Amino acid sequence: MKLKMGMKTRSRIEVSLIYLVIAIMTVVIIYPLLWTVGLSLNPGTSLYSATLIPENWSFVHYKWLFTSPDSDYLLWYKNSLIVAFVNSVCSVFLTSLIAFAFSRYQFIGRKYGLYSFLLLQMFPSLMSMVAIYILLNTLGLLDTLAGLMLVYIGGQIPFNAWLVKGYFDTIPRELDEAARIDGAGHFGVFFRIILPLAKPILAVVALFNFMAPFTDFLLPNIVIRSPEKYTLALGLFNFINNQFANNFTRFAAGSILVAVPIALVFLFLQRYLISGLTTGGTKG
């Protein structure tokens, strides 16, 4: 009896600690978000506010972003959407092909190719910025969105290939053999068997590669020079430098809106994630 009571007490303590950790993490995550939303509703330019949500809150900064002739926000938004969409689609396609080759075939250099991908992930991307600048300048792609897309797509391949290959390895090879018996070729196996069962991991890759151009500042700052080609991260930086007198409230408004397309893409890919899991469980 005492042992049972002791186990119940221990279980309650563990559950209480779990809830405490969840509560702390919730505050850590939600408070900065609420603070940024309140800052964006502040009609002034000050970084500080007496309350989380200002008493005289206003959408004046959001209105300025979309209606002011001095605002290039919509142009930056369009540039970011183009780069993000192309990066997401091309990364998923190229990564899945590379991962399929490494997962299903034996060829000369396969082992060293995988090791090379792993080795490339050990070095920070900052080390390659000078080489990227020289390469794009040589190719005539400096200060172009095409050059930025090229770097994003190529830079994501090693990590994504490892990630997707690990998932492809879990798909039974018997399905490949059954498809080949039915007359499917290499691409038939890839498109009809592997891709439908790999929707969960491909959805993750698509989401991560869509998010990158919206949140990355360092690479666009190196590649892009013309203001009309800025992405959102690079353009929003102008709101907190001397050119716009450190307008943190306007910066907050622009930052909040960055989450809109990312959230929409997440909601769109969520159904593919669920359907992929269901299909995998049914066919497995």
The model carries a pTM of 0.82
Residue 278: pLDDT over 50: no
Residue with tokens 């007198």: 245
What per-residue confidence (pLDDT) applies to 97? Answer: 92
Q: What are the sequence ranges of the domains in the chain?
A: 2-61, 68-283
Sign of the Cα pseudo-torsion (64, 67, 72, 78, in order): positive
277 Cβ neighbours under 8 A, 6+ residues apart:
200
The tens digit of pLDDT for each residue in 68-94 reads 888 888 999 999 999 999 999 999 999
| Alpha carbons 266 and 152: distance in angstroms, whole number | 20
| Alpha carbons 209 and 153: distance in angstroms, whole number | 8
DSSP codes, 113-180: HHHHHHHHTTS-GGGGHHHHHHHHHHHT-TTSHHHHHHHHHHHHHHHHHHHHHHHHTTS-HHHHHHHH
The tens digit of pLDDT for each residue in 113-170 reads 888 887 877 777 777 888 888 989 998 899 999 999 999 998 888 888 888 998 898 8
CB-based contact 186:107 (threshold 8 Å):
no
| 18 C-beta neighbours (distance < 10 Å), count | 10
On average, the pLDDT of the chain sits at 83
The tens digit of pLDDT for each residue in 252-276 reads 888 888 888 988 888 888 877 665 5
Q: Is 84 left (phi over 0), alpha (psi -120 to 50) or beta?
A: alpha
| Alpha carbons 271 and 275: distance in angstroms, whole number | 6
Q: Does domain 68-283 have CATH number 3.40.190.10?
A: no
What per-residue confidence (pLDDT) applies to 3? Answer: 55
